[in-house]
Chain A
Amino acid sequence: MLGKPILDVCDLSVVRSGKQILEDVCLTVNEGEFVGIVGPNGSGKSTFLLSVLGILKAESGFVEIYGLPPTSRKLHRKIGWVSQAAANLPKDVRITVRELVRLGTINSANMFDWADNGRRERVDKAIKMTGLKEVENTDIGRLSGGQRQRAVIARALASEADFILLDEPLVGVDRDSRNSLLRLLDRLCHDEGKTILMVSHDLTAIRQTAHRMVFLEGSVRFDGPTKSFPDFQRLADLRGIQAVHGDKEVYWETTSNHKEEL
Chain B
Amino acid sequence: MGLGIEILEILAPIMESLAPHMPGEVFPEFFTLEMFQRSMLAALMVAIVGGFLGSFLLVRNLALIGDGLAHVSFGGVAIGIVLGATSPLWYALMFSLAASILIYEMQAREILTGDASIAIFLTGMLALGLVVLRYYGVGITVEVESYLWGSLLLTSSEDLDLIAAISVMSFVLLYLIKDPLLATTVDPLAASVQGIPVRLIGLVFSAITAAVVVSMVQVVGTLLVTALLVTPAATAQQVGRSFRSCLMFTQVFGISSVILGLYFSAELDTGSGSMIALVSAVIFTVVVYLANADWLARSFASFRLRITGISIPWFERVARRK
Residues of chain A having any CB pair with chain B under 8 Å: 53, 55, 73, 75-77, 79-83, 88-90, 92-96, 98-100, 102-104, 106-109, 111-112, 137-139, 152, 155-156, 159
Complex contact B241–A159 (CB within 8 A): no
Residues of B within 8 A of A80 (CB): 193
Chain A residues contacting B245 (CB-CB under 8 Å) are 94
Most chain B CB within a 10 A radius of its CB, from A90, A95, A111: A111
Q: Which residue of A lies closest to B179 (CB)?
A: A106
Query: Residue A99 contacts which of B180, B189, B197, B242 (CB distance < 8 angstroms)?
Result: B242
Q: Which residues of B contact A138 (CB under 8 A)?
A: 241
- B59: contacting residue among A81, A92, A106, A111, CB under 8 A: A92
Do the beta carbons of A111 and B192 come within 8 Å of each other? no
Q: Which residues of B contact A89 (CB under 8 A)?
A: 186-187
Check B183 for interface membership: any CB of A closer than 8 A.
Answer: yes
Q: 15 A–B contact pairs at CB < 8 A?
A: A53-B189, A89-B187, A90-B186, A93-B59, A93-B243, A95-B243, A96-B242, A106-B180, A106-B196, A107-B194, A108-B194, A137-B242, A138-B241, A139-B242, A156-B190
Contact assessment for A99 and B244 in the assembled complex, using a CB-CB cutoff below 8 Å: yes
Contact code string B168-193 (vs A, CB < 8 Å = 1, else 0) = 00000000110110110111011111
Q: Are B196 and A107 in contact (CB under 8 A)?
A: yes
A159 to B182, CA, bound (A): 16
Complex CA distance for A185 and B68, rounded to whole angstroms: 46
Name A111's contact: one of B58, B180, B193 (CB within 8 Å): B180
Chain B hits for A73, CB < 8 A = 195
Interface residues of B in 172-231 (CB under 8 A from A): 176-177, 179-180, 182-183, 185-187, 189-197
For B176, what are the chain A residues with a Cβ–Cβ distance below 8 Å? 112
Say yes or no: B244 contacts A90, CB within 8 Å.
no
Give CA–CA (A95, B241) in the complex, Å: 7
- Which residues on A sit within 8 Å (CB–CB) of B242? 94-96, 98-99, 137, 139
Ranked 10 nearest A-B pairs via Cβ: A76-B195, A108-B195, A81-B193, A96-B242, A103-B183, A93-B59, A111-B180, A95-B243, A81-B190, A107-B195
